[in-house]
Amino acid sequence: MLVTLSEILKDANERHYAVGAFNCLSLENVMGALEAAEDLRSPIILQLAEVQFPEAPMELMAPLYLEAAKRSSVPVCVHLDHGQSLETCVRAIRLGFTSVMFDGAALPFEENVGITSEVTRIAKAAGVDVEAELGKVGNSGVDTADVFTDVDESVRFVQKTGIDALAVAIGNLHGHYVHTPQLNIKRLIEIHEANRLPLVLHGGSGTSEEDFKACIHNGICKINVATAIQRRIMKHIQERLAQKPDEEYVPLKQVMIDASREVVTEHIQLFESSPLLAPPTGSTNN
């Protein structure tokens, strides 16, 4: 069923688990992701980042995402990831996305506030939720010193913009990690205590299990995963072609579906979003 981001994250925020947000660039990605979500009865977020538009144009992917979400037996949010402008966010809203992210983290604080506020005003009029980012999530191999989300700034930002979810920078990185990052969980706890809205972790591919668990028990309700899916697909295709050099296209499509399902299953289990894997009644995650 197609739902908004707030509908999915409300329960996650209350019960201390995270919902996986998976960047899907093909039909095979979408099919594998939803198979995993339905098998585990977990909510899921299908998303597409603006930097991925050259390979997966938003206008072509939107109908696929939306139809798949509507047919699904579990809650599915269709989300624009890292929208780089007001115009891109408006395009996504018009196409039917139920959530959009404007990424103004590289902008001066007041400019980020201004554009994010305008995105929120337009989105809310259409019944669409908004994620924004404060602080700078780095890239693999790049020094991330002095780019953590500031706690006091986060409070002002949330109050001024009216967003539904905040992506934070606590030492996390985008892309394939060369070294496992050391996340600042203390900073995360401070941001969570100051802002009770759902928090988002970008750069989920490559984070350690220990850090994932610390994050989802301290305010992270949405975790983005992209690189892990595409790398698993590449690995499985390479292995299949090594075994069967003359393999035809149709069987390879199933390889892509299976690889996508594997990765999404692993992350749903890790993020504790499946009621089938919930801790016994009376236990606590804190």
* CA-closest candidate to residue 168, choices 142, 143, 195: 195
> How confident is the model over 95-129, as pLDDT tens digits?
999 999 999 999 999 999 999 999 999 999 999 99
Rounded Cα–Cα distance for residues 201 and 106 (Å): 17
> How confident is the model over 42-72, as pLDDT tens digits?
999 999 999 999 999 999 999 999 999 999 9
- Which has more pLDDT, 262 or 139? 262
203, 222 contact by CB (below 8 A): no
Rounded Cα–Cα distance for residues 171 and 138 (Å): 7
**Looking at the domain assignment, is residue 286 inside a domain?**
no
pLDDT score for 78: 98
Q: What are phi and psi of 19, to 5 degrees?
A: -100, 130
pLDDT at 278 over 60: yes
Q: pTM (2 decimals)?
A: 0.90
**Looking at the domain assignment, is residue 256 inside a domain?**
yes
Query: Total domain count for the chain?
Result: 1
**Looking at the domain assignment, is residue 97 inside a domain?**
yes
% pLDDT > 90, the chain: 78
17, 273 contact by CB (below 8 A): yes
258 catalytic? Reply is no
Domain CATH for 157: 3.20.20.70
**Looking at the domain assignment, is residue 254 inside a domain?**
yes
**Looking at the domain assignment, is residue 283 inside a domain?**
no
**Looking at the domain assignment, is residue 123 inside a domain?**
yes
pLDDT score for 246: 82
Residue 270: which domain range? 5-277
Q: Which of 8-17, 172-181, 275-284 has the lowest mean pLDDT?
A: 172-181
**Looking at the domain assignment, is residue 107 inside a domain?**
yes
Q: Which of 81, 103, 164, 211 is catalytic?
A: 81
Query: Alpha-carbon torsion 110, 187, 225, 239, what sign?
Result: positive
**Looking at the domain assignment, is residue 246 inside a domain?**
yes
